Amino acid sequence: MTREETPVETAEGRLPVAGAAQVRRAAVRLVRADGRAFAGVLLLNVLAAAASLAGPWLLGRIVDVVRTGAGVGAVDRLAVAIVVCAVAQLLLARWARYAGHRFGERTLARVREEFVERALALPASVVERAGTGDLTTRGTADVAVVGTTLRDAGPELLVCSVQALLALAAVFVIDPLLGAVGVLGLTPIWWALRWYLRRARSGYLAQGAADSDVAEVLASTAAGARTVEAFRLRERRTAANRESLACARRARLHTLYLRSVFFPVVEVSYTLPVAGALLVGGVLHARGLTSLGAVVAAALYLRQFTDPLDQILVRVEQLQSSGASFARVEGLAAAPRAPGRADAPVPVDDRIDVTGVRYAYGRGGEVLRGVDLTVRPGERLAVVGPSGAGKTTLSRLLAGVDAPSSGTVTVGGVPVAELAPETLRRQVVLVTQEHHVFLGTVRDNLLIAEPGASDDALWAALAAVGATGWVRELPGGLDAPVGGSQCRTDGAQAQQLALARVVLADPHTLILDEATALLDPATARHTERALAAVLKGRTVIAVAHRLHTAHDADRVAVMEGGLLTELGTHDELVTAGGAYAALWRTWHGKPGGA
């Protein structure tokens, strides 16, 4: 694999960035997807550029016919031809831009659709490690930059490139020596462009990464505003925000420095081809080697050449920014996909086996240190223990969100990590206290779990989690908009919608990781019992701090320091007088061994 084919290395946990070769292949793929429209845009641009070439040549002809003593009629005919060519160029250029914009919008739609598909295919663990700020920045700012390029810069660059090439070719047709002088005058621009392109991509990639960091820091600070206030972390979070903003400022100043060197050199160099053609053309005309009209036409072509060249160089600068953005958007193609194989064997039953499981996050120490557990089909298992004991980590492994560092987690004899996501979600569903209400109606939020569900099924699911009351009060009921400014749901309502989705999904195993934490104790207990009734006969694994959940369970698993230290019924563990008994006494406010 060459250097260009290798994705750009990123910091640990960051989403990958596509290499230059990958970006080129992606661009070619997008063009081929709408190849006929692209060919039409190219043809229109060639015709518009060809029409623009007639003016300088006809003006040169006017100079020559006047010098030969031709009458006003000949000049008028040539002037009418110039006007006709100018109108034709205007109409063709407008048509070409219109077609280019349509092509750009269709291509942008494909880019957005691919991004959404790839983002939804990312494992939750990958998104968590990368940070939502990076993914959000790629899906908003980076995609917007790519869209602007496809819609505006792309067609403009195409038009100007054809115009510039044909104008330069016209100079060579008039006089090869004048054409060579014009090309020689472009040498400073060539060197400035090489200098800029060698540095611009890395500069804009660094700027994009810095913008992602700013978005991540701001988002995490806003999301944790209450925690910031409670623990008086304002100064610390302010310092973190200032540091990320300072990095973004340095990255932007670096790209500004590149532009401040590149564009002045280019602007000064624009006069060189025209000046060179006039000087050399004057010498040639004085010696009778070319006509005055040819010199005028060549100078006009080179002057005309500088206008599209200026637009090209401006767009090249924009392409560096959009190319870096496209590399970040296309980088999702190289990101890890959700684990699992479509050809994985089907689980023979609903039994879950955890054997010798160990797990560590990143470079940290082990969170789970050899856990063995069997969950029987239809069993209600409560997992309890102090904070940091590994309860949530175990639930993530059971749900297939993460894969164990060593050991196995199987369902029906099949490793969870080998199941395709669609199959896995029909087997095991994890519900945490972090929920999301999607922009849409209540019905839309519920049909995500079961698109074919009837209204009766939707109301039954809401009744199972105690949400029918507030949903019926909404104007429109199931068709009431939620998730936006029109109807904001609080944390408890969001949890109830998430639990209703679980009821509709109807998995054989449900893992509740503090899924009712945002509900008040009475509502939480009612909801848990209602869910237990609805999910009767299915496996329920509840990670809980409220020990009434453990009291109602068939068995209780106690986690301490990444180990499973106790396993049994509530009564057995209380009688044993171990860690669970101590937690139970503390929960009921009984001191020591009382």
Q: How confident is the model at residue 2 (pLDDT cuts 50, 70, 90)?
A: very low
CA distance 93 to 91: 5
Integer Cα distance of 533 and 22 in angstroms: 53
CB atoms within 10 A of CB 147: 19
Instruction: Assign 253 a pLDDT band (cuts: 50, 70, 90).
Output: very high
Strands (E) across 291-365 are located at 352-360
**pLDDT exceeds cutoff 80 at 166:** no
Pairing of β 539-543 and β 563-568: unpaired
**Choice between 340 and 570, residue whose per-residue pLDDT is larger:** 570
The rounded distance, in Å, linking the Cα atoms of 170 and 165 is 9
3-state secondary structure 72-131: HHHHHHHHHHHHHHHHHHHHHHHHHHHHHHHHHHHHHHHHHHHHHHHHHHCCHHHHHHHC
Task: Report the DSSP pairing between strands 380-384 and 555-560.
Answer: parallel
What would the pLDDT profile of 497-509 be if each residue is shown by its tens digit? 888 888 888 888 8
Gap between the Cα atoms of 480 and 88, Å rounded:
55
Determine the 3-state secondary structure of 187 from DSSP.
helix
Which residue stretches of 270-289 are H helix?
A: 271-286
> Can you spell out the DSSP letters for 19-49?
-HHHHHHHHHHHHHHTHHHHHHHHHHHHHHH
pLDDT for 3 beyond 60: no
pLDDT of residue 103: 84
Residue 349, C-beta contacts closer than 8 angstroms, at least 6 positions apart = 377, 412, 413
Q: How much is the mean pLDDT over the chain?
A: 80
Q: What is the pLDDT of residues 288-334, one digit of tens each?
A: 777 777 777 777 778 777 777 777 777 777 777 777 888 888 888 87
Count of other CB atoms within 10 angstroms of residue 198: 10
Report, as an integer, the average pLDDT of 167-193: 82
| Inter-residue contact 149 to 110 (CB < 8 Å) | no
Contact 564, 356 (CB under 8 A): no
The amino acid sitting at 24 is R
Rounded Cα distance between 578 and 544, Å, is 18
Residue 341 pLDDT greater than 70, yes or no: no
Looking at per-residue pLDDT, the higher value among 51 and 471 belongs to: 471
Q: What is the pLDDT of residues 76-126, one digit of tens each?
A: 777 788 788 788 878 888 888 788 888 888 888 888 888 888 888 777 777
In this prediction, residues 337-365 reach a mean pLDDT of 77
* Both tokens assigned to 421: 């996501």
Between 579 and 525, whose confidence is greater?
579
Q: In 10 A of CB 110, how many CB atoms? A: 14
Q: What is the C-alpha to C-alpha distance for residues 490 and 496, in angstroms, rounded to an integer? A: 10
Q: Name the residue with tokens 């960091």.
A: 213
User: 154 pLDDT band (50/70/90 cuts)?
Assistant: low
Percentage of the chain lying above the pLDDT 70 cut: 85
Distance of CA 396 to the CA centre of its chain: 24
